[in-house]
């Protein structure tokens, strides 16, 4: 089975953002192969991904969050500092998480130990982000996801009751 990687460099120009994200959503959709989409999105998703010293506009477009919903991608776990970019805006020191990796469920199933490592800032206003996906999974447990259609199976109720009784409701 193949896998896909899409590198992203999001525009820094406010007037071009809507066009870029419209293009992204029209050209990418949920993938049936393992997919890692990463890079400098020049967008943050959550308010805590921007330093408290800087104002967060709550009515701002949520381009990256909308893209993640449309493509069914989710944030790759990371190690290192939360902020991946730092610089001056309007004379104020600002830090934001603009760089990240996004993965789909198939990627997570095959490489459950995948992680993004935020390295130290050296000679740039961004920190390097290194994506690591180990094939060896000696201590990993496969992520369990309950499928709603299982509840319609005849044995589902008795199986849940048996397991509940066996494990003492833990």
Span 28-65, pLDDT tens digits: 999 999 999 999 999 998 888 988 766 666 667 889 99
Helices (H) and strands (E) in the chain, counts: 4, 9
Of the listed ranges 15-29, 99-113, 134-148, the one predicted with least confidence: 134-148
Q: How far apart are CA 37 and CA 106, in angstroms?
A: 13
Distance of CA 69 to the CA centre of its chain: 11
**d(Cα 138, Cα 141) in Å, to the nearest integer?**
9
Is the pLDDT at 133 greater than 80? The verdict is: yes
Instruction: For 72-120, write each residue's pLDDT tens digit.
Output: 999 999 999 999 999 988 888 899 999 999 999 999 999 999 999 999 9
Mean pLDDT of 128-148: 71
Residue 1 banded pLDDT, cuts 50, 70, 90: low
Give the global pTM.
0.74
Q: Where are the domains of the chain?
A: 4-140
Judge whether 64 and 107 are in contact, CB under 8 Å.
Answer: no
Residue 122: CB atoms within 10 Å:
7
The total of other beta-carbon atoms located within 10 Å of residue 67's CB is: 22
Q: What is the pLDDT of residue 78?
A: 94
Instruction: Enter the CATH code of domain 4-140.
Output: 3.60.10.10
Percent of the chain with pLDDT over 90: 56
Residue 97: the pLDDT is 95
Query: Collapsing DSSP states into helix, strand and coil, what is residue 57?
Result: coil
**Which tokens sit at 143?**
């992520």
Confidence of residue 122 (pLDDT cuts 50, 70, 90): confident
């Amino acid at each position: 089975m193949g896998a896909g990687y899409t590198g992203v460099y999001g525009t820094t120009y406010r007037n071009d953002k809507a066009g870029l994200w419209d293009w992204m959503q029209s050209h990418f959709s949920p993938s049936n192969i393992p997919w890692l989409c990463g890079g400098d999105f020049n967008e943050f998703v959550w308010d805590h991904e921007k330093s408290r010293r800087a104002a967060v506009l709550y009515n701002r477009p949520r381009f990256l969050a909308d893209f993640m919903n449309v493509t069914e991608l989710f944030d790759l776990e990371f190690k290192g500092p939360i902020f991946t970019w730092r610089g001056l805006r309007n004379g104020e020191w600002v830090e934001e998480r603009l760089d990240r990796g996004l993965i789909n469920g198939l990627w997570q199933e095959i490489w459950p130990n995948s992680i993004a490592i935020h390295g130290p800032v050296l000679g740039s206003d961004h920190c390097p982000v290194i994506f690591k996906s180990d094939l060896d999974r000696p201590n990993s447990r496969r992520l369990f996801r309950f499928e709603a259609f299982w509840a319609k199976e005849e044995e589902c109720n008795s199986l849940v009751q048996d397991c509940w009784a066996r494990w003492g409701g833990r």
